Amino acid sequence: MCGIVAYIGQREAYPIILKGLKRLEYRGYDSAGIALLNDGLKVYKKKGKVANLEEELQGKDLHSNIGIGHTRWATHGEPSDRNAHPHRSASGRFAMIHNGIIENYAQLKQELLSKGYVFHSDTDTEVLLNFIDDIQKNNDCQPEEAVRIALKRVVGAYVIVLLDQENPDTLIAARKGSPLVIGVGKNEHFLASDASPIIEYTKEVVYVNDYEVAIIRPDELILKNLGNERQTPFITKLDMELAAIEKGGYDHFMLKEIFEQPQTIFDCLRGRLDATAGTITMSGIEKYADELVNTNRIVMVACGTSWHAGLVAEYIFEELCRINVEVEYASEFRYRNPVINKGDVIIAISQSGETADTLVAIENAKNQGAIIFGVVNVVGSSISRASHAGAYTHAGPEIGVASTKAFTAQLAVLTMMALAVAKKKGTITEQRYQTLLKELEAVPEKVSKLLKSVDGIKALAEKYKDAEDFLYLGRGFNFPVALEGALKLKEISYIHAEGYPAAEMKHGPIALVDETLPVVFIATRDSYHEKVISNMQEIKARKGMVISVINEGDEQSISLSNDVIIVPEADEVIAPMLSVIPMQLLAYYIGVARGLDVDKPRNLAKSVTVE
């Protein structure tokens, strides 16, 4: 959660930090703040979005060449001016921003209270800052040493950036469990939670590792571990363009990202899938081919939309590879003391590559002898570095909080992985293999065709925008699409929605059905189609409003539906990559019709880096 940004160099810090906060606002928008060294240490912060802070600072003297900024997703303490970051230490010397949760903050706070410290917020961040302040004063040590001593006592996750008014040419940063990227310029450095605030200024970055402390000056970057041993910064080049994080003429990032899917799916397949040659080339699969072919068990570990991608992949891997697959919520998996056997394969799925629960889950499984594959979007992310192997989805930056293009890219990667393993294992016929390669290669063009006919979905959004509840039903490969459709609607429109396997409707949810309830059926032609038709008839008999997502020419479904959405036909293994597109669009247009901020839905943040 939370977005952090900082600058030190020769430029004006405020415009860089403000623009960076706007780009990081998808990580949290409960409050925002900035600290600058300008004739002393000045801290400005405001409840609400970054725009509120910007308005508050109109006309102020904000000249400074060093500063830190923060946009918050509230954990400890309600959204308010007083709980907004940056926080200032009791001595007034330091200001600090923080992303993460300090789990033993209560114990530290009691120690500080007994020494006479007074707190002005409800946050764990102010506790950590004053703990650092106390260590520095009592030991008369350098701030970097105080940070190292403090962090040895800290339990939890953090990225911190410290601004010291007595050292106006130095920033101190540290991380454990939350992301930190440092951009390297000429006599300047940029710090941020991800690369989006940095790419406008430099493409050379350093990804800070866990338990590292960074001492940053305009012309110097020093990395040390908590034992005060110097580490060598590894500079990498960003493969990202500025246009990728701008709206490009679309009203919202979410709509832009939905419409980018023909290209992002193509980019995901490019260089890997060659249907003409009949090949899939994935280095991670090839490196661990024996382990994948011989494993008795695959566990997909993910959260949210990525968990739904894992559910689709469960059907695909079991169908094509004949391997037992389990799909786990990372938050449950990490605490349940699961049985992990040596040789088990864990596939961690995460858009950001920083999801806290997923990261801890795979570290635990790794320690028990499992092979870890990462399916992530963000290059250099923590999960990608913690994995033995894996595949990037190449979806590009996803700014809208509700995931769209990342989901279809994950499905593309997971489908290719399953096909590659099935081919090596001999559990798929050559004809079926070739057919699915061609089907997968055709997905970008089919998605492009589907996106040319959104007017009908806009009309449905207007028709159903005032509904109080929705039910989404699907079977087989399309059951997870029903779950994803319900999640998108909840996230974007705040309408209560539930997704179920269509056959489970009779085991309880059918009690909700009346003439006011829209029921969305994912009913493309597959081996479950006749069964779904029967479920549709049961809803129709109880006067439910049936919205069906179907293929062209499905007259039986049309006769049972109040409204239909047509999607291109595809093999049932591939179909979810197409049937999910209308679910994304319906949620988007309903959210817009209800006058909501679809890019920044309430209470949510993009990258869940805290528990």
Asked if residue 58 is part of any domain, the answer here is yes
Q: How confident is the model at residue 335 (pLDDT cuts 50, 70, 90)?
A: confident
Separation of alpha carbons 488 and 590, rounded Å: 11
Closest by CA to 289, choosing from 245, 321, 336, 250, is: 321
Instruction: Please give the model's pTM, rounded to 2 decimal places.
Output: 0.79
Considering the domain architecture, whether residues 447 and 375 belong to the same structural domain is answered as yes
Name residue 181's amino acid.
Answer: V
Q: What is the mean pLDDT of the segment spanning 282-293?
A: 90
Q: Is residue 72 part of a domain?
A: yes
Query: 159 and 220 share a domain?
Result: yes
DSSP string, 111-155: HHHHTT---SSS-HHHHHHHHHHHHHHHHT--HHHHHHHHHHH--
Q: 15 and 109: one domain?
A: yes
> Of the candidates 452, 484, 509, which is a domain's last residue?
452
Report the C-alpha gap between 225 and 218 in whole angstroms: 21
- Asked if residue 248 is part of any domain, the answer here is no
Does residue 611 surpass a pLDDT of 70? Answer: no
Determine the 3-state secondary structure of 329 from DSSP: strand
In 3D, which of 481, 452, 462, 480 has the Cα closest to residue 584? 481
What pLDDT is recorded for position 608? Answer: 57
Q: What is the pLDDT, as a whole number, of residue 316?
A: 97
Show which of 203, 220, 243 is a domain's final residue.
243
Share of the chain above pLDDT 70, in %: 98
- The answer to the question of residue 447 being in a domain is yes
Instruction: Report pLDDT digits (tens) over 439-486.
Output: 999 999 999 999 998 999 999 999 999 999 999 999 999 999 999 999
Within this chain, do residues 79 and 100 fall inside the same structural domain, yes or no?
Answer: yes
pLDDT at 503: 84
Q: What is the CATH number of the domain that holds 278?
A: 3.40.50.10490
How far, in Å, are 59, 125, 293, 414, 426 from residue 360 at the CA level?
A: 46, 22, 26, 22, 34
**What phi and psi values does residue 7 have, to the nearest 5 degrees?**
-145, 145
User: Per residue in 356-402, pLDDT tens?
Assistant: 788 888 888 888 889 999 999 887 788 888 899 989 998 888 888 89
Asked if residues 265 and 578 have their Cβ atoms less than 8 Å apart, the reply is no
**So what's the pLDDT on residue 558?**
93
Residues 395 and 538 in one domain: no
Average pLDDT over residues 197-202: 91
CATH number where 10 lies: 3.60.20.10
The yes-or-no verdict on residue 594 having pLDDT over 80 is yes
- Please give the pLDDT value at position 398: 86
Return mean pLDDT, the chain.
91
Straight-line distance from the first to the last Cα atom of the chain, in angstroms, rounded to the nearest whole number: 10
Q: Examine the domain organization and report whether 411 and 485 are in the same domain.
A: no
**Is the model more confident about 305 or about 378?**
305
User: Which of 73-77, 93-97, 206-210, 524-528 has the weakest average pLDDT?
Assistant: 73-77
The pLDDT tens digits of the residues spanning 231-257 come to 999 998 887 666 666 777 889 999 999
In this structure, the strands spanning 273-274 and 496-501 are unpaired
Task: State whether 223 and 331 are in the same domain.
Answer: no
Q: What is the pLDDT of residues 41-75, one digit of tens each?
A: 999 999 988 999 999 999 999 999 999 999 987 77
pLDDT tier for residue 607 given thresholds of 50, 70 and 90: low
Classify residue 175: in a domain, yes or no: yes
Is 286 contained in some domain? yes
Mean pLDDT, residues 504-530 = 87
- Give the least confident one: 144-148, 173-177, 444-448, 458-462: 173-177
What residues act catalytically? 2, 606
Tell me the helices (H) and strands (E) count for the chain, helix number first: 21, 27
- CA-CA distances (angstroms) from residue 264 to 370, 411, 415, 447, 578? 30, 12, 15, 11, 14
Chain CA centroid to CA 465, Å: 27
Mean pLDDT of 29-48: 92
The one-letter amino acid code at 261 reads Q
Task: Look up the domain containing 64 and give its range.
Answer: 3-243
Express each pLDDT in 518-544 by its tens digit. Answer: 999 999 998 888 888 988 888 888 888
Estimate the crossing angle of helix 576-593 against helix 405-425, to 10 degrees: 170
* pLDDT exceeds cutoff 90 at 427: yes
Q: Does residue 155 share a domain with residue 74?
A: yes
Chain segment 11-23, per-residue pLDDT in tens: 999 999 999 998 8
Average pLDDT over residues 487-505: 92
Closest CA to 262 of 410, 397, 448: 448
**Helix 455-464, helix 576-593: angle, nearest 10:** 50
How many Cα atoms are found within 13 Å in the side-chain-facing hemisphere of 600?
A: 15
Residue where a domain terminates, one of 429, 452, 475: 452
Residues 208 and 277 in one domain: no
| Whether residues 281 and 236 fall in one domain | no
Place of tokens 């940063």: 173
Q: What share of the chain is helix, strand, coil (3-state, %, to 5)?
A: 40, 25, 35
Asked whether residue 38 falls in the same domain as residue 55, the answer is yes
Same domain, 75 and 223: yes
User: In the chain, how many domains are there?
Assistant: 3
pLDDT digits over 178-194, tens only? 889 999 999 999 999 98
**Is 417 inside a domain boundary?**
yes
- Does residue 172 surpass a pLDDT of 70? yes
Check residue 43 and give its pLDDT: 94
